[in-house]
Amino acid sequence: MTDTPAETDAAPSHFIREIMRDDLAAGRTTEVVTRFPPEPNGYLHIGHAKSICLNFGIADEFGGRCHLRFDDTNPAKEEQEFIDAIKEDVRWLGFRWDAHEYHASDYFEQLYAWAEHLIENGLAYVDDLSPEEMREYRGTLTEPGTDSPHRARPADENLALFRAMRAGDFTDGSKVLRAKIDMAHGNMNMRDPVLYRILRQPHPRTGDAWCIYPTYDFAHGQSDAIEGITHSLCTLEFEDHRPLYDWLVDHLPVPARPRQHEFARLNLSYTVLSKRRLTQLVADGHVDGWDDPRMPTLSGLRRRGIPAVTIRDFIGRLGITKSDSLTEVQLLEHCVREHLNKTAERRMAVLRPLKVVIENFPEGEVDELDAVNNPEDPDGGGRKVPFTREIYIEQDDFMEEPPKKFFRLAPEREVRLRYAFFVTCTEVIKDTQGNVTELRCTYDPATRGGDAPDGRKVKGTLHWVSASHGIPAEVRLYDHLFTAEAPGGGGGDFLADINPDSLEVLNDAVLEPALADWPQGKTLQFERLGYFVPDPDGRPGRPVFNRTMTLRDSWARAQKQDRKQARPPGGKAKG
């Protein structure tokens, strides 16, 4: 028997792990085989990441395997682009399926043969009811359905009609094949569900070979059985489909008997994870494609600079339960910040430049200053940063009439420039409209890279970039796509909750020269500003950077405040 994983803080026990452990101990299975079965009609989102991490991760824990199977039973909505994107996303998350890539279309002939088996045994029939009539005959949650007038057709007639459906003798939607179960069943999914429908639509893999296609409910369990899946893990919306899953497996000569188990899906605040809604956002132009960094798709998160390891960490913290709940998006952001704070290199960038002339610094001279790559990483090394007479600072780092707690630059005030010198503002230059366009300052050469020898202190430290060495760049500041915690909540239009300020584009940013050729996909910290990553839209001499997120961690701060409130006076925290 395969050794089962030991429980650790990183992998706390949950009910699916216990089911697998019990099945192995009882000999009901000798190897754990799971599957991740995406429908290739869109890009994967972070909700799918929960299923991916569970299916691939738990199979690996038990020394088993996980299959990647494409549920390609609806060619009207499926494209090769989505298949390729799904594979890229699963690989990016860190999982491999090796030789175990499958498609439901691999089994079309076998599924068709099993449909004929049901017909021959009086367990399926061809129905002529229209979709509207079928809904009417189906009944309600409190009232039983009514038998279709075609339900009593003899098996040989049904078989002939079904074969004619495959031959293309009937128009799309004119006939379907239905399972003959029980129109009075308390579970609506058991009221003679549709198994096959007519659809003249070329398939990405089978071309025009078929004009009838199996439904998901018919293809899914049987595909599991063909592949020898032992544990078919689904989200809770498929719980009501499990009786049908079991009925089909019980009534067909399948080579194995998989079991379906359900877990709660991921619901994330300020986010929509409905594929229908995500498709609408793309189709209606509310975002710039499936990989827009505001989208919760894995490709969007990757383009935004969120590392795959932080998504796995986030999913691992959620646990696996059967209770639906709403997870704060701030927890995901906390996981990202926690990781990047330790691993991301630091660089300086000025997003809204204000020119500063240091009048007592020699013209044409360049001072190469030492800067650390990551203060959290003692082995992270360092770099040289050029300092010149003219530099840029952030516009927000200067105020002509500062309030009491503003500790940055102001007239006649001294501040520290990061890695460089103390500087004092001596003059403010304005345009004809009164806007500040330039500052004149002096610097203290004795403060190079540290504190003042005479012991004087400054309260503000500013980042900066050399005007003559800086790299011009476009910077895109992304924020949450929605302003509501539950977009469209209460039956409203989710589009009405779109954040009009979810993207701000800055075209005049200036970056330190070390960022001229920063690697794609490598997230870094712009000091004092946030985490950023290069975007593929950049070009030589004009990079584009996307903001991954700001430095401010509201989730961690809220958790700290909760712990503080739970601590009794003079004692330890409760619990």
Question: What strands, in cross-sheet order, belong to the sheet with 33-36?
Answer: 33-36, 65-70, 101-103
Closest Cα partner for 390 from 365, 419, 413? 365
Question: Cα-Cα-Cα-Cα dihedral of 52, 54, 59, 62, to 10°?
Answer: 160
* β-sheet bridge partners, residue 177: 126, 196
95 residue type, one letter: F
Asked if 222 and 107 count as a contact pair (C-beta separation under 8 A), the reply is yes
Asked if 348 and 393 count as a contact pair (C-beta separation under 8 A), the reply is no
Q: Which of 163, 166, 205, 265 is catalytic?
A: 265
Q: Which of 31, 39, 116, 328 is catalytic?
A: 39
Q: Which residues contact 45 (CB under 8 A, 6 or more apart)?
A: 273, 275, 278, 295, 296, 297, 298
Q: How many CA atoms lie within 13 A of 170 on its CB side?
A: 20
Is 275 marked active-site? yes
Give the helix ranges, DSSP H, for 188-324: 216-227, 242-251, 275-283, 298-304, 308-318
Is 39 marked active-site? yes
φ/ψ (deg, to 5) at 278: -65, -40
Asked if 509 and 392 count as a contact pair (C-beta separation under 8 A), the reply is no
Q: How far is CA 397 from each of CA 371, 402, 410, 422, rounded to the nearest angstrom?
A: 21, 10, 9, 15
Q: Which of 178, 191, 259, 275 is catalytic?
A: 275
Place of tokens 């060495």: 469
Is 265 marked active-site? yes
**125 vs 194: CA distance, rounded Å:** 10
Cβ atoms < 10 Å from Cβ of 378? 8
φ/ψ (deg, to 5) at 132: -65, -45
First CA to last CA distance, the chain = 40
**154 vs 180: CA distance, rounded Å:** 12
Using CB atoms within 10 Å of the CB of residue 411, give its burial: 0 to 12 exposed, 13 to 18 middle, 19+ buried.
middle
Active site positions, annotated? 39, 265, 275
